[in-house]
Amino acid sequence: MNAQLLIDNIVRQTTVLVAQLATSRGLRAPLAHLANQVFLDLASEVERQGLSRKVSADMFGLALRSYRRRIQRLNESSTDRGRSLWEAVLDYLGQSEVVMRADVLRRFHRDDEAVVRGILSDLCESGLVFRLGRGDSTAFRAATTRELDQVGQRGLGLDELLWVVVYREGPLDVDALSKLMHANRPALEAALARLLEEKRIEQEPGSGKYRSAQLVLMLNDEAGWEASMFDHYQALVRTLCVRLRGEGAADTSGGSTYTFDVWDGHPLGPEVRDTLRRLRRELGDLWDRVERHNGSAGVPAQFEQITVYAGQSGLMRDKFEHQEE
């Protein structure tokens, strides 16, 4: 297997998706922190595979001491040791009614300026901070608890995205969820409280960890489109990882991709275009029947969770362009 070639092409396709997400619906999402976050997440995941830090450092082309220092530097603010830069910036903004951007940059002068600017933009996009003015006169104000309660973060899809993570990767405690979500701690705890109140998740007695026995994301739900996209992408990644590890039989685990060339007037065109709608209807009916049975018969302590995902897209192509490829 040419792993390097495969990795390079998967990264390329992932950057296409990230760029689309960052610019969709008129959004201009901050990307300054992305390279550092990718390094941290990748390093953490490599170590989760059972490799030592020395081996992980070698995979990144770094000496062990440099690797450790970089992880420590990215995990916490260089200005405020012991906590993340996100937390430190938000806490600093909350100490005053209005804070000028120049004051923020001066306060965190030991941290990378591009990263600090990216966090400020990210905090504004998340609704935790308000931006006032423009250019050199830009100032920031942290949202009050009352304002956050009124907004409830619902328009941002935080509740639904958190629900997906709890369902797919739980049981997890607040610290683990905070690391996975890269979300502000107060906003995360408020979202957990709402999900508990709505009985979408539950908290294990004793451990305090959160889990969910069910996940329902409605089609075309504006509040949860981010969660639906993440859930689909996560299902794809998990399936590929299962196959890479050689787990599961080929006829029950994995995926297949079929591409059909049709055109206006093609006798099978309507059937092809209707494939996703049919699959959703059939899988929805199957899910309802499984849930009814589980509700009446009960679920044992150990069970197999089978995830089926489906996707479809259409792209207009030129015949000669298609043949040249």
pLDDT in tens, 44-56: 889 888 899 999 9
pLDDT at position 268 over 60: yes
Amino acid identity, position 232? H
pLDDT at position 256 over 50: yes
Q: Stretch 169-188: mean pLDDT, rounded?
A: 82
| Residue 150, pLDDT score | 60
Is the distance from CB of 199 to CB of 185 less than 8 angstroms? Answer: no
Task: Of 130, 48, 115, 126, give the one whose Cα is nearest residue 84.
Answer: 115
| Residue 154, pLDDT score | 47
pLDDT at position 159 over 60: yes
* % of the chain surpassing 90 pLDDT: 25
Q: Could you give the CA distance from residue 77 to residue 116 in angstroms, rounded to a whole number? A: 10
Q: For the ranges 95-99, 126-130, 205-209, which has the lowest average pLDDT?
A: 126-130
For tokens 């298609």, the residue is 322
What mean pLDDT value characterizes the chain? 83
Q: Which residues contact 79 (CB under 8 A, 6 or more apart)?
A: 85, 88, 107, 108, 109, 110, 111
Q: Which residues contact 224 (CB under 8 A, 6 or more apart)?
A: 157, 159, 160, 161, 217, 218
| Residue 153, pLDDT score | 45
pLDDT digits (tens, 9 = 90+) for 106-133: 998 888 888 788 788 877 876 778 898 8
Q: Could you give the CA distance from residue 320 to residue 325 in angstroms, rounded to a whole number? A: 9
Q: Stretch 36-48: mean pLDDT, rounded?
A: 87
Q: Which residues contact 118 (CB under 8 A, 6 or more apart)?
A: 30, 31, 32, 33
pLDDT category at 247 given cuts 50, 70, 90 is confident
| Residue 63, pLDDT score | 92
Kindly state the helix (H) or strand (E) to which residue 14 belongs, with its residue range.
helix 3-23
pTM score, two decimals? 0.66
Q: How many CB atoms lie within 10 A of CB 96?
A: 13
Q: CA quadruple 266, 271, 274, 279: dihedral positive or negative?
A: negative
Q: Stretch 260-268: mean pLDDT, rounded?
A: 95
Is the distance from CB of 67 to CB of 56 less than 8 angstroms? Answer: yes
Q: Stretch 271-278: mean pLDDT, rounded?
A: 95
DSSP labels, 48-98: HTT--HHHHHHHTT--HHHHHHHHHHHHS-SSSTTS-HHHHHHHHHHTSS-
Tokens of 80: 């405020």
> Across the chain, how many H-helices and E-strands are there?
15, 5
pLDDT at position 209 over 70: yes
pLDDT at position 39 over 80: yes
pLDDT category at 35 given cuts 50, 70, 90 is confident
